[in-house]
Chain A
Amino acid sequence: QDLSLPNGTPVDTSSPASSSSLLNRLQLDDDLDGETRDLFVTVDDPKKHVCTMETYITYRVTTKTTRAEFDLPEYSVRRRYQDFDWLRNKLEESQPTHLIPPLPEKFVVKGVVDRFSEEFVETRRKALDKFLKRITDHPVLSFNEHFNVFLTAKDLNAYKKQGMALLSKMGESVKYVTGGYKLRSRPLEFAAIGEYLDTFSLKLGTIDRIAQRIIKEQLEYLVELREYGPVYSTWGGLEVELAEPLEGVSACIGNCCTALEELSEDMSEDFLPVLREYILYSESMKNVLKKRDQVQAEYEAKLEAVALKKEDRPKVPTDVEKCQDRVECFNADLKADMERWQNNKRQDFRQLLMGMADKNIQYYEKCLTAWESIIPLLQDKPETK
Chain B
Amino acid sequence: MDDCLSKKIEITVSEAEKRTGRNAMNMQETYTAYLIETRAVESQNEGQCSPVDSLWRRYSEFELLRNYLLVTYPHIVVPPLPEKRADFVWHKLSADNMDPDFVERRRIGLENFLLRVASHPFLCRDNIFYSFLTQEGGWKEMVNETGFQLKADSRLKALNATFRVKNPDKRFTELKHYSDELQSVISHLLRVRARVADRLYGVYKVHGNYGRVFSEWSAIEKEMGDGLQSAGHHMDVYAASIDDILEEEEHYADQLKEYLFYAEALRAVCRKHELMQYDLEMAAQDLTSKKQQCEELATGTVRTFSLKGMTSKLFGQETPEQREAKIKVLEEQIQEGEEQLKSKNLEGRDFVKSAWADIERFKEQKNHDLKEALISYAVMQISMCKKGIQVWTNAKECFSKM
Contacts and interface: CB of A to CB of B under 8 A. Distances in A.
Asked whether A and B interact, the reply is yes
Interface of A: 196, 199-200, 203, 206-207, 210, 213-214, 217-218, 220-221, 223-225, 227-228, 231-232, 234-235, 238-239, 241-242, 245-246, 249, 252, 346, 349-350, 353-354, 357-358, 360-361, 363-365, 367-368, 371-372, 374-375, 378-379
A210 B209 contact: yes
A361 to B, nearest CB: 5
Given A203-B216, A213-B206, A231-B185, A368 B382 contact: yes
Given A224-B199, A249-B378, A361 B220 contact: no
B389 A375 contact: no
A203 B202 contact: no
A214 B206 contact: yes
B185 A238 contact: yes
A241 B386 CA distance: 30
A218 B199 CA distance: 8
B396 A358 contact: yes
B91 to A, nearest CB: 13
B360 to A, nearest CB: 12
9 contacts: A214-B207, A238-B181, A249-B374, A346-B402, A357-B395, A368-B382, A371-B381, A371-B382, A375-B379
Given A214-B207, A220-B199, A235-B189, A357 B393 contact: yes
A378 B378 contact: yes
User: Which of B186, B227, B370, B378 has the most chain A CB within a 10 Å cutoff?
Assistant: B378
B298 interface: no
A228 B399 contact: no
A228 B198 CA distance: 13
Interface of B: 178, 181-182, 185-186, 188-189, 192-193, 195-196, 198-200, 202-203, 206-207, 209-210, 213, 216-217, 220, 223-224, 227, 231, 367, 370-371, 374-375, 377-379, 381-382, 385-386, 388-389, 392-393, 395-396, 399-400, 402
Contacts of B189: 228, 231-232, 235
A245 B371 CA distance: 7
A189 B227 CA distance: 25
B400 A224 contact: no
A357 B203 contact: no
A379 B381 CA distance: 16
Nearest to B395: A357
B189 to A, nearest CB: 5
Contacts of B186: 235
B203 A214 contact: yes
A227 B199 CA distance: 13
A345 to B, nearest CB: 8
A227 B189 CA distance: 9
A228 B196 contact: yes
B205 to A, nearest CB: 9
A30 B181 CA distance: 70
Contacts of B216: 203
A210 B210 contact: yes
Nearest to B396: A357
A361 B203 contact: no
A221 B370 contact: no
A231 B371 contact: no
Contact of A364 (B192, B227, B389): B389
Contact of B192 (A227, A358, A365): A227
Nearest to B194: A224
A221 B196 contact: yes
Contacts of B400: 350, 354
Contacts of B231: 353
A246 to B, nearest CB: 7
Contacts of A364: 385-386, 388-389, 392
Contact of B220 (A196, A217, A235, A349): A196
B233 to A, nearest CB: 14
Cβ-closest 8 pairs across A and B: A357-B396, A221-B199, A368-B385, A364-B388, A353-B399, A203-B217, A360-B392, A217-B202
A326 B388 CA distance: 54
B192 A231 contact: yes
A226 to B, nearest CB: 10
Contacts of A372: 382
Contact of B182 (A196, A217, A238, A371): A238
Contacts of B381: 367, 371
Contacts of A203: 213, 216-217, 220
B245 to A, nearest CB: 13
Given A221-B199, A228-B196, A349-B402, A200 B220 contact: yes
B385 A367 contact: yes
B273 to A, nearest CB: 20
A267 to B, nearest CB: 12
Contacts of B379: 375
A375 B375 CA distance: 7
A210 B213 contact: yes
Nearest to A218: B203
A234 B195 CA distance: 18
A46 B196 CA distance: 40
Contacts of B224: 346, 349-350
Nearest to B223: A346
Contact of B210 (A207, A249, A361, A367): A207
Given A213-B206, A242-B371, 11 more contacts: A217-B202, A218-B203, A242-B367, A249-B374, A357-B395, A358-B392, A361-B388, A361-B389, A363-B388, A378-B374, A379-B375
Contacts of B182: 235, 238
A232 B199 CA distance: 19
Contact of A217 (B199, B371, B382): B199
Contacts of A220: 199, 202
Given A228-B192, A358-B396, A245 B199 contact: no
Nearest to A227: B192
A245 B216 CA distance: 48
B374 A246 contact: yes
A368 B386 contact: yes
A113 B122 CA distance: 67
A355 B386 CA distance: 19
B219 to A, nearest CB: 8
A89 B223 CA distance: 33
